[in-house]
Amino acid sequence: MNHPAPESPAPEPPADAVARLRGTYRTGRTRPVGWRTGQLRRLRALLTEGGPDLAAALRADLGKSSAEAHRTEIDFTVREIDHTLERLDGWLRPEPAPVPEHLGADARAWTQYDPLGVVLVIAPWNYPVQLLLAPMVGALAAGNAVVAKPSELAPATSAALARLLPGYLDTDAVAVVEGGVPETTALLAERFDHIFYTGNGTVGRIVMRAAAEHLTPVTLELGGKSPAFVDRGTDLDVVADRLVRGKFLNAGQTCVAPDYVLTDPGTAGALEGALARAVEALYGTDPAASPAYGRIVNERHYDRLAGLLGSGRVVVGGVGDRSAKYLAPTVLADVDPAAPVMQEEIFGPILPIVTVAGPDEAVGFVNERDKPLALYVFTDSAEVRERFAAETSSGGLGHGLPLAHLTVSDLPFGGVGESGMGSYHGRWSIETFSHRKAVLEKPLG
C-alpha cells in the first residue's frame, strides 16, 4: 500500500518569525557573550558536519568543485568564525573616553557595544553559503537575533541551509525564511533593527526604500565593474595567471572578480597570449571537462552572457553549451568602451581588454565611471600604485592580486557609491551589527 509522503510543516509566515525572534531578544537571551560564542561554535559544527551536504548543494546549483566549495565558502566561513571567537572579548571591551575638566575628576566616560536587536540578512546566489553565514557570524557575535534569507536562485543550497541551520542554532533567536520576491517583500514590510543585503543595486534600492519606512539602517553589499590595470613592463605571465584565477573562479560569478582589463596598446598583444596560456594551464584545452571549472547559475544569465560575446575579438574561449550552462573562460580583445560588454557588470567568464595610453588615462577611465567594489593594479612602480591609491575611489584596492583582500579578516569588506555602503568581516562586523553607546558616569556622592 502506498502511504502519502509526510507533509512538511507549512513555512512560518515572515511576520510571525520576526515577532517570535523579537520576543526572544527582549528576554535578553542573546546578550551574554557565552550565548554568542556558543552559537558560533554550533555554526562551526554545522560547517564541519554539514560540509559534504553543503558542497553537494553547491555542485548542484553552480557546478562548484568540492575543493572550491570548501576554499571559498565553507572553510572561509570557518576561518571567519575562528577569527571572531579568538578576538571577540577584546572587540567588545568598552573603550574609555577622556572626560572634560568641567565634569570633575570623578566622572568617567566610555563607549560600549550594544546589540541592535533583530536583524535581517539577505543573501545572493553566487556564494550562497558564505554570503549568508559570514554576515550571520557578525550578527550573532554582536548579540542579535537573526532572520536569514538565502537566495532562491541557488535552490539546493537554500534548502540545505534551511534544513541544517535549525538543527544547530538557537531556533528562538535564528529563523530561516526561504523564498523569492514575494517572501522577501513580506519580510521587508517588517521592522528590523538592521538589514544586511548582498546583491544587485536595483534590489538594493528596494531594500533601502523599505528600510526607510522604519528608519532601519542598512548595509548594502553590491557589485559593479571592478577594473584591473596592467602597466607596461610587468611580468605578464605572473599577471595573467593571477587575473585568470581571480576572473574565472566560480565561472566569473564573483562580485570582486576583475571585470575588465585596461592596458596600453604595446602591452595588449603580449597580455592576450599570456592570458590564453594561463587559461589552458589552469583548465586544460577543454575547460568543459575540467572539474575545477564551474557553470552559469541559470539559462537567463547564460543568454545574457552569450549576448556579450560579440563585443570584441575572441582570444580564447567564446564557446558554450546552453543546456549544460557551460560558458568557456573567454578573453575578448579590441573592445570598445562603448561595446555592450562594457556597459554593465559582466558577472560571468568574459574578460574584455580595453586599451588606454597608460596610467593617466586608466585613472581617468576609472573615475569617469561608478565607484567599483574593487580595483586591481598590476605594476612594479610604487609611484603608479600611489597614484591609483590617492586618485581613485573603490570599495577595496588590490595591488598585484585580485580577490585576496577579502580573505584578510581584519580588513573591512564593502563598497562605496554604487558598489554599496557599510562593511563587514572580523571586527568590522561588530561595528556594523552593534550600536556604540555613549555612557557617562558621575558619582552622586
Torsion angle of the four alpha carbons 392, 398, 401, 404, in this order, in degrees rounded to the nearest 10: -140
Q: Are the beta carbons of 365 and 356 closer than 8 angstroms?
A: yes
Q: Is 221 a catalytic residue?
A: yes
Q: Is 415 in the site for ligand NAD (CB under 6 A)?
A: yes
On the CB side of 133, CA atoms within 13 Å amount to: 33
Comparison of 14 and 318: residue with beta carbon closer to ligand NAD = 14
Give me the catalytic one of 68, 80, 190, 255: 255
| Minimum distance, C-beta of residue 136 to ligand NAD, in the bound complex (Å) | 14
| Annotated catalytic residue 255 | yes
Task: Kindly state the cell numbers that stand for 127.
Answer: 556564494
Task: Identify whether the C-beta of residue 310 lies closer than 8 Å to the C-beta of residue 235.
Answer: no
191 contact partners, CB below 8 Å, separation of at least 6: 18, 214, 216
Stretch that binds ligand NAD, among 19-27, 31-39, 198-206, 358-366 (CB under 6 A): 198-206
| Among positions 53, 75, 152, 370, the unique one binding ligand NAD when judged by CB under 6 A | 152
What is the nearest approach in angstroms of ligand NAD to the Cβ of residue 34? 30
Q: Does 373 bind ligand NAD (CB under 6 A)?
A: yes
HSE-CB at 421 with a 13 A cutoff on CA atoms is 11
What are the two backbone dihedrals, phi and then psi, of residue 378, each rounded to the nearest 5 degrees? -115, 105
- Virtual CA dihedral for 135, 138, 141, 144, nearest 10 degrees? -60
Q: Is beta strand 145-149 parallel, antiparallel or unpaired with respect to 118-122?
A: parallel
Contact with ligand NAD (CB under 6 A) among 135, 199, 217, 348: 199
92 binds ligand NAD (CB under 6 A): no
Shorter beta-carbon distance to ligand NAD: residue 60 or 206: 206
312-371 positions binding ligand NAD, by CB under 6 A: 345, 347
- Which among 221, 272, 345, 418 is annotated as catalytic? 221
Map residues 114-143 to x or -, x wherever contact with ligand NAD holds by CB under 6 A: --------xxxxx----x------------
Terminal C-alpha separation, the chain: 82
The residues annotated as belonging to the active site are 221, 255
The contact set with ligand NAD (CB under 6 A) reads 122-126, 131, 149, 151-153, 180-181, 184-185, 198-200, 203, 206, 221-223, 255, 345, 347, 373, 415, 420
